[in-house]
Structure 1
Amino acid sequence: MAKPTNEMEWLIDIYGHDYSIKAPKDVEKIKLSQMVSKLGFFYEKFRNAIDYNEEHLVRRNSIERFLRRQLLLLLEKDSLKISESLIHEFIRARYLPNETLPETFIAEVARPIKKYIEIIDYININRLPNGTKLTDWIIGVASSEINEKLTPDTKEVATVNLMYSHLVDNITFRKTNIDEKEKNLQIYIATLRTLLKSDPSTSRYFLLKLYLPNWNLMNTEETQIFCHNLYSIKDKIDKNLAHPISFQLARIIKSQSVFFNILREVMENNKDNLKELFAEPELLESAIEEVVVTNYKKIKGKLIGTILRVILYIFFTKTILALAIELPYDYFIVHEINWYALGTNIIFHPLLMFFIAMTIKIPGVKNTQIIISEIKKIVYGEERKLVFKAKGLMRRGSFSYLIFNFIYIIMFAFSFGIIISILRYFHFNALSGLLFIFFLTIVSFFGFRLRNLAKQLSVIPRKDNLFSFIVDFISLPIIRVGRFFSTNFAKINIFLFLLDFLIETPFKMLVEFLEKTVSFINDKREEIIE
């Protein structure tokens, strides 16, 4: 028999409870038409398919989109109406269950919405400087709080607190000149970023709750006091999130989040016999191994699916571009069709993606053994020594800054110089060459992201050697440019803009109207039966 730590026993107790929202038997439940709900569900699926987001951010982003539509486009001020509309929309999208939530839940969700309406009204009435950015900041925080209200994350937050307290006790800072309070705050932020994979809006919401413990219960008077201090609080939070050591610390702590994520999954899978499981280390080992192996299989399946989609997407996109742009350009402008360049531009990048895919490996037995060993240390309170050494940040304009940026420019010139030389040797014209380089950078960035996906459970440090240095030297500039193209082109999505502002609002209003029509007809039918 082994005894878990007091913190671990506290977490076991939390995971033994069910925190899902349920309606008492004598309370009326929110019920929507199954027929109309299908329209909302298929639209949400379509919307998410064309605007890829991480799975854990889909709900929050959907709430943010909803709030922008209601508060900024429709200028709705009634928090109860907004709450009802949001809950109905989420039931249709199947983010929330139908015929499960009590009608009183609408008023509960309306409370935080009312608070954010008051804050946005304050910004608009007083015409605060940078009001648009300030409103965006507030709506991001609002979407995080409302998401928490709709789908309580009690167990996740408890795991965050366990990981935070464990790191505070076991991590040693070196080469840093920040005080203890700031160290602890940065550990907390790094825990949010690695364990919850929180985006900026979610991190801001958690810090608001940290600075203002009464945030979720504030009345109108307290909200007005907050509004008077809005700029100072916002600046303080954003400054904390942008601290020089913040992302360095998150990179170090990332491997630690693997242990707590696996631990969380083990507890979810065994919530009916948690005390017995953690009392027997051998049983715990088996449960951890089962979860880890299952996750390896999930990652492998996700990789295969993603790789196939990317290869097909690149192949068809390149074929269309070749026929629609390259071929006419060669024929009408250059007056010579380079079939070799045309064929290479169609075939090379899908083959490169396939080659990158073949070199991606899922972690193995050694990685699993380390995960089991480290989780047992966390559970039973064995000492774990973690050291964080802050890397010195180069000041803009300093000698070191100029030298290393010069080296970076050389890396870019060398990498793209080689590519351009090869393309010129094979007589690629300007357009063919640009398309080749563009897709090379995109494929390289996709490959880099897929490698990171495969390594998300890896806790074995990477071993650098001469070969890996040469590969990094050549590929890093290409991946960097691919990242730039990928992130910036995603922002300039005209179709998404048109969908959100010209199609979504009338479509959602039509769905709401159909819902009320179906409800009205059902009521009349019931009257006839009576």
Structure 2
Amino acid sequence: MEGKPLSELANSLISVFDEEVPETRDRKISVNPVVSKVASIYEKVRNAMDYRDQEVILRAAIERILKRRTLFGGVAKTIAEPLVRELVWARYFPDESVSESMTARVEERIDLYIKLRHEILAKHLIISEKSLNEWIYHLMSSDVEHTLCPRKKKEYMSNFMFRVMRDNITIIDEGEQQKDIQVFIAVHKSYAKDDLAMLRFHLFNQFLGKLTAENLPKVIENFPEGYREINNQLNYPRKDKIFNYIKDKTVIFFVLEDFLNIGKGGIKQLINDDGEFRRIIYSICEARYAGIASKVRTAIFRSIIFLLLTKALFALSIEGTFESIFYGRVLWTAILINIVVPPLLMAALGFSIKTPDRENSKKIFNYIRAILLSGDPKLANQLSIKTKPDKMKPLLNTIFSFLWIITFFLVFGIIFYVLNRFSFNPLSMFVFVFFLAIVSFLAYRINQVAKIYSIEPRKNVMTSVTDFLFIPFVTVGRKLTDGISQINVFLFLLDFVIEAPFKGLFSFFEQWFLFLQNKREELE
């Protein structure tokens, strides 16, 4: 491989990582360290109550602040500066890392989306106000995050991954444009870890263009059509098939990103030294594998806090009240089991996680070498699908549907039978199954975190048995978790009743500390 030229696409990517980013000399936003410490603790507790992936926590925090400040009559001019300061308080950005000039840019972005919402409502365009509000907050929070925290390297790597993956996927009965859109969505979900809000933002920019004062009238005119098209693309019938294929290859690009950051300034020389290139890729893989245990522990801890703070305490209080009224006493055995089993299940999951082996690292290295050196890299197991999959024979479809229903009743029936043997009352049974389903779903998500660095995960007999036993719980748990998240009254009270005065106190004490500092300076 000595001296073999890189592909044009690889050269373009490497130039971005080799580029020096100039540091701005604008005045930076500084906050009081005491206020910041308290605010960051509050933010950690708040985030533990709302189970989200680490990559979307900043955007979600921005959306939460925007909702609170607009609810209380805020406009762009009165929202921007406090929003940025709150984010620095909570240590989403280090102290003195955000320039004061950034506030004006954030204000401009917020103002554009407020105008967009106002004009769409005034023109009575075909979209409900509730849906429009959700969209505007999604777009606005995503745009503000991109303004405050532009991720140029991440965007270039996403584009590089898109260019590689699109040539390894074929949708037989669709055009290239449809395939490109779905690959774009899958790449941003799997590699960039974009949530629904960020996906809408990226697709909005693709279909309607980046929102500016100049193109605002055109965006308003085309918004209904863009809204429908984006929804259609996000609900494309074969999206999961494409996403799962791309997700299994995403580790290649995570490791490549690490390599480009490590080799900055001498990337091409490292690639031409096959032995050193291989050694670095293998060491990056090992470091990534070592981080799995830490990520899993964090995910397990957050899941347990999520359960206890947002659901368990509420549900168990109802269970205790029910038993006191109808049985004259609290059945502590059932309550204890309901408290202990979910954390134990999470802990058991942590001990069962296995890290990938050296063969996995070898595959990653070979893929990385291929995509850097080949002008048209082809990955193994290329994907070819149809919009409408081949229909299963009616008899087989009926049999499998019947077996799926039987599986549900069998699995849940066994659980209810065992609980009945332990003298659980009907409500205690419901609470147990309720939490078991939610924990199963959270455990499934944690397991996906652990598998993220395994390229083309192998399936075996145990995988099939596990799927048979747990998929019913995972399916129900997902529905419950999504549904409860929509009606989490405690979070609503926390965000709009408690957080507003709490952040007001932060602002007051920060100004008080600044006043005291000025007084001390007058004495010197």
Q: TM-score normalised to the size of structure 1?
A: 0.86
**Alpha-carbon contact 2:310-2:490 (below 8 Å) kept:** no
The aligned counterpart of 1:118 is 115
Count, aligned residues: 516
Of the structure 1 ranges 141-150 and 46-55, higher mean CA displacement relative to structure 2 is found in 46-55
- Does 2:90 match 1:90? no
Please give the residue correspondences for 1:81-480 in structure 2 after superposition, counting only pairs within 5 Å: 81-126=78-123, 128=125, 129-169=127-167, 171-173=168-170, 176-213=172-209, 215-216=210-211, 218-219=212-213, 221-307=214-300, 333-334=326-327, 350-381=343-374, 383-390=378-385, 392=388, 404-465=400-461, 467-480=462-475
How many angstroms does 1:173 deviate by?
Answer: 1.5
Q: CA offset at residue 229 of structure 1?
A: 2.1
CA shift for structure 1 position 521:
5.3
Is 283-292 or 479-488 further displaced after alignment? 479-488
8 Å contact from structure 1 (residues 23, 100) kept in 2: no
1:83 to 1:447, Cα distance in 2 relative to 1, 3 A = closer
Q: Conserved in 2, the CA contact under 8 Å of 1:281 and 1:376? A: no
Name the structure 2 match of 1:53: 52
Partner residue, 2:16 = 14
Q: Which whole-Å deviations, capped at 9, do the CAs of 1:391-444 have from their partners, x for residues lacking one? A: 64599xx98876654332222112122223333445443234333323332333
Residue 237 of structure 1: SS of its match in structure 2? helix
What's the CA shift string for 1:189-209, capped at 9, x where partnerless?
111111111111111211222
Q: Measured at CA, do residues 328 and 60 of structure 1 come closer, stay the same or move farther in structure 2, by a change above 3 Å?
A: closer
**How big is the shift at 1:95?**
1.9
**Would the aligned equivalents of 2:50 and 2:306 in 1 still touch at CA under 8 Å?**
no
Distance in 1 separating the partners of 2:331 and 2:86: 53
- Partners of 1:322 and 1:97 lie apart in 2 by 39
1:156 and 1:324 map into 2 onto residues whose CA distance is: 46
For 2:15, the aligned partner's letter is D
Structural mapping, 1:38-49, within 5 Å: 38-49=37-48
Shift of 1:518: 4.2
For 1:187, what is the secondary structure of its paired residue?
A: helix
Inter-CA distance 177–102: structure 2 relative to 1 (3 Å threshold): same
What is the rounded CA distance, in whole Å, between the counterparts of 1:134 and 1:320 in structure 2? 34
Q: Secondary structure at the match of 1:389?
A: strand
CA positional deviation for 1:243: 1.3
Distance (whole Å) between structure 1 residues aligned to residue 170 and residue 431 of structure 2: 47
> Structure 1's 505 and 390: CA in aligned 2 closer, same or farther, altered over 3 A?
same
Aligned partner of 2:493 in structure 1 is 498
Give CA deviations for 1:90-133 in whole Å, capped at 9, x if unaligned.
22122223334433222222222221121122234445541221
Q: Which residue number in structure 1 is paired with residue 24 of structure 2?
A: 23
Identity %: 31
| Counterpart residue identity of residue 168, structure 1 | R
1:470–1:58 CA distance, 2 compared to 1 (3 A):
closer
2:64 match: 65
Q: Is the 8 A contact 1:394 1:400 kept in 2?
A: no
Query: Quick one: structure 1 residues 523 and 119, their matched pair in 2 at CA, closer, same or farther if it must change by over 3 Å?
Result: farther
Letter in 1 for 2:411: S
In the alignment, is the contact (CA less than 8 A) between 1:315 and 1:347 conserved in 2? no
3-state SS of paired residue (1:229):
helix
CA RMSD, Structure 1 to Structure 2 (Å)? 3.4
Return the alpha-carbon distance in structure 1 between the equivalents of residues 87 and 186 of structure 2.
30
Q: Structure 2: any 5+ residue segments left out of the alignment?
A: none
1:169-199 Cα offsets, whole Å, 9 max, x none, are 3x1415x311111112211111111111111
Change beyond 3 A, Cα 1:460–1:336: same
Greater alpha carbon shift after TM alignment, 506-515 vs 131-140: 506-515
